[in-house]
Amino acid sequence: MAKDDLLGASLWDAYSNKVTTLMNNPQHQGEIFEAEAEERGNKLIVADFGAESCGDAVRLYWEIDPKTDIIINSKFKSFGCGTAIASSDVMTELCIGKTVDEAVKITNIDVEFALRDDPDTPAVPPQKMHCSVMAYDVIKKAAGLYKGVDAESFEDEIIVCECARVSLTTLQEVIRLNDLTTIEQITDYTKAGGFCKSCIRPGGHEQRDYYLVDILADTRKEMDEEKMKAAADAGGSASFEDMTLVQQIKAIDAEIDESIRQFLVMDGGDMEVIDIKSSDEYIDVYIRYLGACNGCASSSTGTLYAIESTLKEKLSKKIRVLPI
């Protein structure tokens, strides 16, 4: 078999039998006319949606019973590829018998799943998943026209992956809860990026406002910053003995600033921590007096006692203050 024949066969096999059947013989293609709907006491809604990325377009007809909001009948016209025709046909069938509010909950995943021959085998290749995305968008458009609201009012979250209808909030939560580190893991957990792949990074089939690579990087950065802050907070509340040397020096300086330094400065002096050495029995804090405190008789008696007593009370009873 020639290479082109092999390529053609593999591409053909990527479509389900339902897709190949419906693209050639759609069951709900056609029009509903306003006079017909009015004669039956129903309201006709006609909604159009087009995908700029591929030029496909679909027109959806809903005949709605205004007393119950139930979609009594539905038809479509599709201006696009065979996959768009099959997707539109199944989307139309899923709408019939539902209320408008129920129909708005139909997603492109529902459409793609209904096109499968078996639950585990995708109905279309990933690059054609965008055809079923149009189904969700045109349904929102029709519902908005019927209810007199903007179609976007039915969407209360930022959708990153249109194919799998995965929101920004969901992605951030899944990354955090499961400590995800790769795009492959995100796809495994959420299906985002598993179809047309446009949401993974710039340069795909369609331009997106958000990409998985950026969401992953930003969320991981936030997680790392939160871990560092938690570690710092834990260090601040940990026992003095368990602190690092840097944390111990900072803790001593903070206590000196609060209780001692102002009196030293008033007399023209100051002090600084030179080193800390710990043993099983003592934590020796080596200090150096500055200014007028250096050589002052009180520096080895009253002042030293005040410093050591404060640090023992506030930080650890094991502290000894030793002037150098």
Name the maximum alpha-carbon separation found in the chain: 109
Strand segments (E) across the chain:
43-50, 57-65, 70-79, 159-161, 166-167, 269-278, 283-291, 319-323
User: Do you know the residue count of the chain?
Assistant: 324
Which one-letter DSSP state was computed for residue 81? -
Rounded to 5°, angle at Cα 238 from 232 and 242: 100
Two tokens at 188?
Answer: 């495994």
Catalytic residue among 95, 131, 161, 196: 131
Burial annotation 4-30 (CB, 10 A radius, 16+ → b, else e): eeeeeeeeeebbbebbeebbeebebee
Annotated catalytic, 81?
no
* CB neighbour burial string for 161-193, b if at least 16 within 10 angstroms, e if fewer: bbbbbbbbebbbebbeeeebeebeebbebbebb
Q: Is 163 a catalytic residue?
A: no
| Residue 193 falls in which region: left (phi positive, over 0), alpha (psi -120 to 50) or beta | left
Calculate the alpha carbon distances from 225 to 155, 170, 175, 244 in Å. 31, 20, 15, 20
Of 132, 131, 126, 133, residue with least CA distance to 200: 126
For 148, the token pair is 């007199």
Separation between Cα atoms, residue 151 and residue 137, nearest integer Å: 8
Residue that is written with structure tokens 């709408």 in the block = 95
List, by residue number, the catalytic residues: 54, 131
